[in-house]
Amino acid sequence: MISVQPVARPGAPLARRNPVAKLAAALVFSFVLIATLDPVAPAIAIAVELAVLPLFGVRYGVLARRAWPLLASAGGILVSLVLFAADRSGPVLVEAGPVVVTQGVLVTALGLVLRMLAVALPGIVVFATTDATDLADALIQNAKAPARFAIGALAAFRLVPLLEQEWRMISMARRARGVDAGRNPVVRLRLFVSTAFALLVGAIRRGTRLAVAMDARGFDAGTPRTVARRQRFTRADGLLVAGAAALAGAALTVSVVLGTFRPLIG
């Protein structure tokens, strides 16, 4: 089950910031980190991210629950890179039969995994502290996103949990008709494809009905829309973005000063 509800205390000082500002800060922070392959800059970034977490009103336990698939895959990547990466340079750290772990391979693998975590965490924090409606409002009002796109996506998003339910209903309806796959993998795949097709047909029909209902309330009227919920982009929001940029820059600077900086390109 995909959870999309915000989990933060809404009163936390940074959780209250404009959603577009939070998104921009996360993007700036992540983008800078993509530029380097070393483990130091992302490690600093993760430390910074964890340090500001209370300001977003997210408890560490909640974050861990939300990010566990990410942590699990990070662990998996680390192990497989350490064991199987082609680059075997540097002094040997562990040698057990066919398993050879060198310093070079460990540094590269750690760098990659830390980078992945550092890039993903800001996104998780943004969505954990932002209501989807507020995000759509702010995208329209502060980032000049087209309302047709932002509100349309928001409405479609609301129908996503229905798909899961629909999938179960279609599968059960097929079993009732005498259709099941048993253990045959080919039949199983065919059944999966045909169930997916039925789901798609249903989703398109439902989407069309929703679109008609939205147009019936003037969504396609062409009159300039007004906004019921005002989203403001204040100086504090600007400072949040600037702060994110400065911290990301600082992480890179430390990495350059320590001599571990390895640019992605060149």
Which 3 state secondary structure label does DSSP give 261?
coil
DSSP state, 93? Answer: E
Closer CB to other proteins, residue 89 or residue 194? 194
Instruction: For other proteins, give the closer residue by CB, 131 or 250.
Output: 131
Residues belonging to the chain:
266
Q: Which of 113, 136, 133, 116 is nearest to 124 (CA)?
A: 116
Residue type, 173: A
Minimum Å distance from CB 221 to other proteins?
6
What are the helix (H) ranges across the chain?
19-34, 40-52, 60-84, 103-129, 132-142, 147-158, 160-176, 185-216, 235-258
Q: How far is the CB of 158 from other proteins (least distance, A)?
A: 6
Tokens 């994110």 found at: 244
CB atoms within 10 A of CB 196: 12
Cα 104 from Cα 93, distance rounded (Å): 10
CA distance 100 to 85: 10
Per CB under 8 A, residues contacting other proteins are 131-133, 151, 154-155, 158-159, 161-162, 166, 169-170, 172-180, 182, 194, 198, 201-202, 206, 209-210, 212-219, 221, 223-230
Cβ atoms < 10 Å from Cβ of 56: 22
CB of 103 to other proteins, least distance (A): 51
CB 12 within 8 A of CB 56: yes
**Which residue's CB is nearer to other proteins, number 160 or number 258?**
160
Give the nearest distance from C-beta 67 to other proteins in angstroms. Answer: 24
